[in-house]
Structure 1
Amino acid sequence: MSKVKVFIIEDDFIHANRLEMYLDEMGYELAGTAVGASQALNLIAATKPDLLLVDIHLAGDRDGIQIVENINKKKAIPVIFITSYRDKETFERAKLTDPYVYILKPYDKETLQAAIELTVYKISKINDTQIQNNYHGWNNDRLVKDELFIKSNGILIKIKLSDILYVEAKDKMCIIGMAEELIETRMSLQKLEEKLPIDRFLRIHRSFIINTKEISQINLSKNEVQLGPYKVPIGRSYKEPFINSIDSNID
């Protein structure tokens, strides 16, 4: 598990400090900051952030829109534009770079929080569609860095799919079991199941989904599987489909 990494491009010291403070209070990781094009492009390539907060009006030969255009030529990163410019021309230029959200100054922490959550939600929806449309040939490129974005304890976090051992529905929430920690989220088991690639994850009980790539032992006499330090039950009605799935993978 890791925090969502946010990179700031802002040449106003006061606004940059405010953004850093807000991100820290909201539980996000600051990937880095830059005041201009060359600095931003070099640091973004090195830090690989999940999303960008970009002020449009910057000192120098390139503004925020031009920097994002340059980034998009290599690898598009979700962008939230922040600006005091309210003219239609600026908005139309910004729109061509496909930003996720456009915030006008002045803004508060709640506005920024909503913008980031909306951006991550849009990313996850795109990934869900790609998984559903391409599940036969699913690969890591179908998800952003092979990661799942979820909200836990009021904070957006990202989890590598390969780190998930199992998911359990419990008391109107879900527990995501990983080798060294358990993460709680209010997302339903059904919603999580929709987000997980079917060539790797399988429901074996009405309350459990497992990562089939991480099975270390199967005990059919006890109707359970071992995944890392965890033992997960196999539901009676799920047993035959589970065995058939394992047999087909062996073949």
Structure 2
Amino acid sequence: MSKPVRVLIVEDEPIIADDIAISLEEFGFEIEEIVASSEEALAHLENHQPNIVLLDIKIEGGLDGIRLAHLINEKYQIPFVFISSMYDHNTLTRAKSTNPAGYIVKPFKESDLKVNIELALTKNNPIMPPLDEQKELKFFVKQAGAMIPLDFNEVTHIEGDDNYAIFHTNSGKHTVAHTLKEIDNKLSNRGFCRVHKKYIINLSKVDRIEQSVLFIEETMIPIGKAYRKGFFDHLAIF
């Protein structure tokens, strides 16, 4: 039996912190500790190794949640998810600079906690195929009369367009003459998941989920009703 995921909660509002803890325990997570300040969080991290940190931005102590997140990156390399009622441009810009594993806006649903934690851990532990299959993680596109290999790990998401599929990467788009169903059959066990009749996403690239949509950086992708359960099942880690 796998060990439960250990969570550190950094939240200075006791009622909210307790609600988060109760919800996560019902989902099977283990709460290592609830702390209210940056100093308490750092003291805990000196002696413990949680799998993930849930981090409010407005907390007690000498550091706010974003400055604390920078320290977590520098010293502990533990994934963290922000939980905050703040989503103004300045706050989001500062938060993005820490490369968080997720960002949940208060108020939120219990399912948002579970999904974002599982996504964060999926991103932190990407699924890699056996070595003898890694050569298949490349596809070829025609460019200037040549066949150019591209690594599937570069792909953020794939968009279907009738009998063609458009591979979106950080460096551009590449169109191949395959249906989305054909692509899905090859990638479903390799860290990719179909979330809509027109979209397949790379699970390691998802930044956050909000109700019926997910975000990969600034790109919003709908989650179709027919694919919702399969998507959430794909994220399950215990």
Cα offset for 1:119? 1.1
Matches of 2:62 and 2:124, distance apart in 1: 31
Bigger radius of gyration among the two: 1
Matches of 1:88 and 1:71, distance apart in 2: 23
Matches of 1:16 and 1:113, distance apart in 2: 15
The answer to whether the 8 Å contact 2:38/2:68 transfers is yes
Q: CA RMSD in A?
A: 2.4
The answer to whether the 8 Å contact 1:32/1:47 transfers is no
Cα offset for 1:31? 1.4
Q: Which 4+ residue blocks in structure 1 deviate beyond 4 angstroms?
A: none
Asked if 1:128 corresponds to 2:128, the answer is yes
The answer to whether the 8 Å contact 1:6/1:31 transfers is yes
Matches of 2:77 and 2:120, distance apart in 1: 14
Ranges in structure 2 where 5+ consecutive residues have no aligned partner: 135-187, 192-238
Task: Spell out, residue by residue over 1:25-69, the C-alpha distance to the aligned partner (whole angstroms, 9 max, x if none).
Answer: 100011112111111011122120000100001133211111111
Task: Spell out, residue by residue over 1:81-124, the C-alpha distance to the aligned partner (whole angstroms, 9 max, x if none).
Answer: 00001201001101111101101000111111111121122123
**3-state DSSP of counterpart to 1:2:** coil
Task: Provide the identity percentage.
Answer: 33
Ranges in structure 1 where 5+ consecutive residues have no aligned partner: 136-189, 196-251
**3-state DSSP of counterpart to 1:11:** coil
**1:103 corresponding residue in structure 2:** 104
Count matched residues: 136
**1:53 corresponding residue in structure 2:** 54
Q: TM-score, normalised by structure 2?
A: 0.53
The answer to whether the 8 Å contact 1:84/1:105 transfers is yes
Asked if 1:18 corresponds to 2:19, the answer is yes
Task: Spell out, residue by residue over 1:141-171, the C-alpha distance to the aligned partner (whole angstroms, 9 max, x if none).
Answer: xxxxxxxxxxxxxxxxxxxxxxxxxxxxxxx
Matches of 1:30 and 1:128, distance apart in 2: 29
Cα offset for 1:128? 2.5
Structure having the higher helix fraction is 1
The answer to whether the 8 Å contact 2:102/2:120 transfers is yes
Letter in 2 for 1:19: I
The answer to whether the 8 Å contact 1:6/1:49 transfers is yes
**1:31 corresponding residue in structure 2:** 32
